[in-house]
Amino acid sequence: MAVSPAFEAKLNVLLAEAGQPAMDSTAAGRFEDYCVLLQRWNARTNLTAIRDENGILRRHFVECITAARSLPIQAGTLLDFGSGAGFPGIPIALCLPEMHVTLAESQGKKAAFLREAVRILELSTQVYSDRAEKLGKTFDCVTLRAVDRMDEAVEAAARLVRPEGWLALLTTTGTQTGFQAVAGAEFIWSVPIPLSVGEGRILLLGQKCA
């Protein structure tokens, strides 16, 4: 389905405010499909507390698109640890088609939503409906954003990053030092990348030593 002009314009205005390039109509249309599906499922199950289109675009889509475009690798294997409603894994899969994305989500209803989103958006993304720690393999990049017991999640996610791979945390300036400590001394951290204007949201990128 073609993107509505209003949705495309709204998304690109918000991207411009974040200092990001505009998205073409085809890509914007896939994000609109994702937004519609998210709102439909949110009406009957609690996927995210943000339910209106403006909030979804501003708080979820723009932040995750910025993160996707800021990743140090554009291809390889990526695990979205505790994917929830698909953030940031699905936007990354939409923005970086060469990335082999796995969405790990242990809650059944959220995993069911992720499978439906992958089907509707025609992604090759895999959904792993169990705890990510049970995967038993490592990835070129592991992402986390607003998961339960974040300290424990960061520690577990760090173990799933292969040597010379990347840990990507979508978080806030106030948690930076703590999360870096939890991840461990084997990570070398880049300068944080701002994800929002004036809200203190950042992308923390740590590369694991060989």
Q: What's the mean pLDDT in 109-128?
A: 97
Other CB atoms within 10 Å distance of the CB of residue 7: 17
Domain span including residue 35 = 5-208
Query: Exposed (0-12), middle (13-18) or buried (19+): which is 148, by Cβ within 10 Å?
Result: exposed
Residue 132: the pLDDT is 93
Q: Which residue has the higher pLDDT, 182 or 43?
A: 182
> Residue 198 pLDDT more than 80?
no
**pLDDT confidence bin for 122, thresholds 50/70/90:** very high
> Residue 1 pLDDT more than 70?
no
pLDDT in tens, 81-106: 999 999 999 999 999 999 999 999 99
> Residue 5 pLDDT more than 70?
yes
Residue 210: the pLDDT is 82
Percent of the chain with pLDDT over 70: 99
Are 159 and 101 contacting, i.e. CB atoms less than 8 angstroms apart?
Answer: no
Instruction: State pTM to two decimals.
Output: 0.96
pLDDT in tens, 133-172: 999 899 999 999 988 889 999 999 999 999 999 999 999 9
Opening angle at CA 174, ends 145 and 82, nearest 5? 15
Q: What kind and span of H or E run contains 114?
A: helix 108-120
Are 134 and 47 contacting, i.e. CB atoms less than 8 angstroms apart?
Answer: no
CATH of the domain at 38: 3.40.50.150
Number of domains forming the structure of the chain: 1
